[in-house]
Every structure is written in structure tokens, then in C-alpha cells.
Amino acid sequence: MYGLVHRALQCFAQDIYGEDIWEKVVVEAELPFHEYEAMLPYPDHHLDDALTSLSNLLERSPAQVAEDVGTYLVTHERMETVRRLLRFGGTTYVEFILSLEDVHDRVKLALPDLELPRFEVEVHSETSFSVVLDWSRQGFGEVLLGVLRAMADDYGTLVMLEVGRSFRSGEVLEVVKVELFEVDFTTGREFGLIAGGTAS
């Protein structure tokens, strides 16, 4: 998998908990590097090992840490790109949720080798959705939960989110349920189609 994913976890640990924690993770997870390069491939198991070590060090469950990583991806200034690319999904939170189905293909266009889950959005009502994750790996549901929670703040929408499981033709898929309460809860953050596009 692309180092982009490993690096996200590394930056999360460094930015939120400090350099020392990341150094401990590197030692405990027996990672061969201190720094991941975004554009180089690395083994998948590094990611699991690092997440396990980080959770142990923080005395939190991997699910909790994964959710915080999702929130971090959207809210931290170092990850502004992620937020911006997600905001391309639509002008409202509902449009954004529906656009999750395009994320996989969009990312493929930009980075053909980056493996991300395929999202399928089930619409139950105007305010109720399920985002089904189709991926060979488990554990991304919590990251998505964190992302969706932070994006709701970004759009100024009040939502309730929950991670569950769905059984489909013998497979267990992760599902994030989305319930909208108030679309214009707060004003949300600004977004322009061009980064820094405030030229007069």
C-alpha cells in the first residue's frame, strides 16, 4: 500500500501526541523506518502493527484511535488537502454523502495505485443513509466515522453516526449509518473550488 496511508497514521501520532510517542511506536512495532514517504509503497502489516502499538501506548482501543485518525484527516491543517478534496463532493452534507460513491474512482484517477475502499451509499430517507464499505481490509469503518463526523462540522450539519456490520453474500462489510438532524446547525467552514481562491 502507498506510504500515503502509513504516513497519515505517522503524522497523526506526531501532530496529536508528539514526536516521542511516534518514536515509541516505531520501536514497539519494529518498523524499519522512522519516516514514511507518501509516494513509495510499504507493506500493509506495518499499518496494523503501528496502529496496535499506538493504541497500546495511548491505552485506547484501536477503533477509538482509528476514529480520531479520521477526524484528524479532516480537521488538522497539515491534512487540509484531504478536507478540500472531500469538499469537492458537493455543496451540502447530503450531496457529500452521496458523492462518497465517486471517491474510489476519483482517487484512482489521481493515484492509480492507491487502494481505498469502495463506498456504496444506501438512501433510506432524506435524512437517513448507510455507507457500506467494500474492502478487503477491516477497520476502516471507524476511520470513515471520524471523517464523516468532522465533515458534518465542516458543513455545519448536525448528524448522528454509528458503525455497524452488514452481511452480504457471506461477507461481513462495515457500514456507517448516518442520520441527519439539522442541516444548518452552524455556518460550517468555507470552501472554494480553487485552493486559496480568494483573489478579488
Partner 1 sequence: MRREQPTEPSTRYIPFDEDVLGTLMPMHLHISPTGHILSVGPTLAKLKPDQSLIGQRFLEVFEVKRPLNIDSFGDLLEHEGCVIRTRFRQGDRLGMKGLFVPLTQQSVMLPDRREEGGSAPVLRPLLRDHPGSVRGATRGALINLSLGVNVVEAVQRYKLSSADFAPADPTVDMLYLIEAKSVALEESKRLNMRLEGARDEAEAQAYTDTLTNLQNRRSMDAMLYQLLRSDQPFGLMHLDLDYFKQVNDTFGHAAGDHVLRHVAGVLQDETRVGDLVARVGGDEFVLIIRGCVDLSVLGGIAWRIISRLEEPITYGDDLCQISASIGTTLSSFYDRPVADQMLNDADRALYSSKDQGRARHTVFDPKQFSALG
Site residues for partner 1 per CB under 8 A: 4, 37-40, 81, 84-85, 88, 90-91, 106-107, 109-111, 191-195, 197-200
Q: Which is nearer to partner 1, 54 or 86 (CB)?
A: 86
Give me the least distance between CB of 171 and partner 1, in Å please. Answer: 30
Contacts of residue 84, Cβ cutoff 8 Å, sequence gap at least 6: 191, 195
CB of 114 to partner 1, least distance (A): 9
CB of 62 to partner 1, least distance (A): 27
17 or 191, CB closer to partner 1?
191
Residue 18 backbone class (left: φ over 0; alpha: ψ -120 to 50; beta: rest): left
> What's the min distance (Å) between Cβ of 104 and partner 1?
13
DSSP for 138-192 reads S-HHHHHHHHHHHHHHHHT-EEEEEEEEEEETTEEEEEEEEEEEETTSS------
Q: Provide, rounded to whole angstroms, the least separation between the CB of residue 26 and partner 1.
A: 18
Cβ–Cβ < 8 Å for 70, 144 = yes
C-alpha cell of 52? 496496535
Query: In the complex with partner 1, which residue's Cβ is closer, 88 or 181?
Result: 88
Distance in angstroms (rounded) separating the CA atoms of residues 177 and 88:
22
Helices 80-87 and 93-110 pack at an angle, to 10 degrees, of: 110
Cell numbers of 185, please? 446547525
Closer Cβ to partner 1, 169 or 200, answer by number: 200
In the complex with partner 1, which residue's Cβ is closer, 91 or 138?
91
What is the CB neighbour count within 10 angstroms for residue 80? 12
Cβ closest to partner 1, residue 83 vs residue 177: 83
CB 97, min distance to partner 1, A? 15
